[in-house]
Structure 1
Amino acid sequence: MASYNKILLCYDGTREGRKALRCGADLALDLKAETHLLSVVDMRTSIAQSAGLLTDVACGRFEDAAREILQEGVDWLAERGVSAHGHFAFGHPIDEIARLAADLKVDLVVVGHRTRSGLSRWWMGSGNTLLLDRVSCSILVAVSAAHEQEPVAAVPAQAGAGAGTES
């Protein structure tokens, strides 16, 4: 197995993000890797969803929510014995993940995957550059099953490398 000494976990509070967090935590514990956790506020999507009518107050609430999600992830990792450095960014998630991965020189990026419907694929278009094309490290894509819908806090805390995994 490749040696992963520095891991970047990407967490947004979604079911897919929680799966990536659990998988990343297990790897970090098993490999005793330096661990970083990233939460990104994608203002472009938020502005588009609000038809461009976001107020400063609404923008502040998006930031507060994202910072809470980041802290939730850092705390959850700490409860399982993983010391993670939290990082917060504004921008397009793929851009920010690629930027931080390069800045930190990580060996592995862990992300969750959300399957998109045909309409969503059409709406998103082909303008989004794949993360695979933007980083020079390995990527682990955690795919969650429908039964993995519980919040991070509801996953039972266990000691050791198997903490938080679900089958």
Structure 2
Amino acid sequence: MKISKILIGIDDSKYAEYAASYGFDIAKTFNAHVGLVHIVEPTVAPITTTDTLMGVPMENSLIADETIMDIQNEQSESLIVRTAKKYGEGLQVTHFNEFGATADGILQCSKDFSADLIIIGTHNRSGIDRLLMGSVAETVVRESRIPVLVVPMVEE
């Protein structure tokens, strides 16, 4: 088995950080090039809402969509840089900061990066929460053409 490129999917959660530390440990073992990816999912908000008191349309957002995207992009880049600094010493690390559906973005980045392995954490959602939110890990495992390591975090 040759593992020369590992794609690690992260978000700003303790589950993803645990998976990232695990993934970087594997990368160090194989001296693998790491692709670190964070996907920003677009927020969906109606353009206008109705004032329930007066019944007239009013503007929903005081902040322009471009500003929101810039803020999300800065936070995403900050997360990637922070994670790479914390775990990536001595490794070659490539950053991916994408917008779109998380599972699709991870899968596309794995192709673009020519990854040999994808490593992601799981939020351990179940029941109605999983039904409403879906499972990024499950979708990536189901649709990936390369091995996927899902790193669970057991909380005590």
User: Which TM-score tier does this pair reach, normalised by the shorter chain?
Assistant: 0.7 to 0.9
Partner of 2:80: 70
* Aligned-partner Cα distance in 2 for 1:17–1:139: 14
Partner of 2:112: 103
Shift of residue 75, structure 1, vs aligned partner: 1.4
Shift of residue 129, structure 1, vs aligned partner: 7.5
Matches within 5 A, 1:20-31: 20-31=19-30
Partner of 2:131: 122
Give the TM-score, by structure 2 length. 0.79
- SS of equivalent residue, structure 1 residue 141: strand
Q: Report the count of equivalent residues.
A: 140
Give the TM-score, by structure 1 length. 0.74
Measured against aligned partners, the alpha-carbon deviations of 1:91-140 in whole angstroms (never above 9, x if no partner) come to 111111111111222110000101113121232369x9811232211111
Partner of 1:8: 7
Q: Return closer, same or farther for 1:129/1:15 CA change in 2, 3 Å cut-off.
A: closer
Identity of aligned residues (%): 21
Answer yes or no: is the 8 Å Cα contact 1:113–1:144 preserved in 2: yes
Q: Does 1:34 align with 2:43?
A: no
| Residue of 35, 54, 58 corresponding to 2:68 | 58
Structure 1 gaps, min length 5: 148-167
Structure 2 gaps, min length 5: 48-59
In terms of Rg, which structure is larger? 2
* Aligned-partner Cα distance in 2 for 1:109–1:4: 11
> Structure 2: which amino acid aligns with 1:87?
F
> Structure 2: which amino acid aligns with 1:133?
R
Answer yes or no: is the 8 Å Cα contact 1:102–1:135 preserved in 2: no
Matches within 5 A, 1:127-138: 130-138=139-147
CA RMSD of aligned residues (A): 2.3
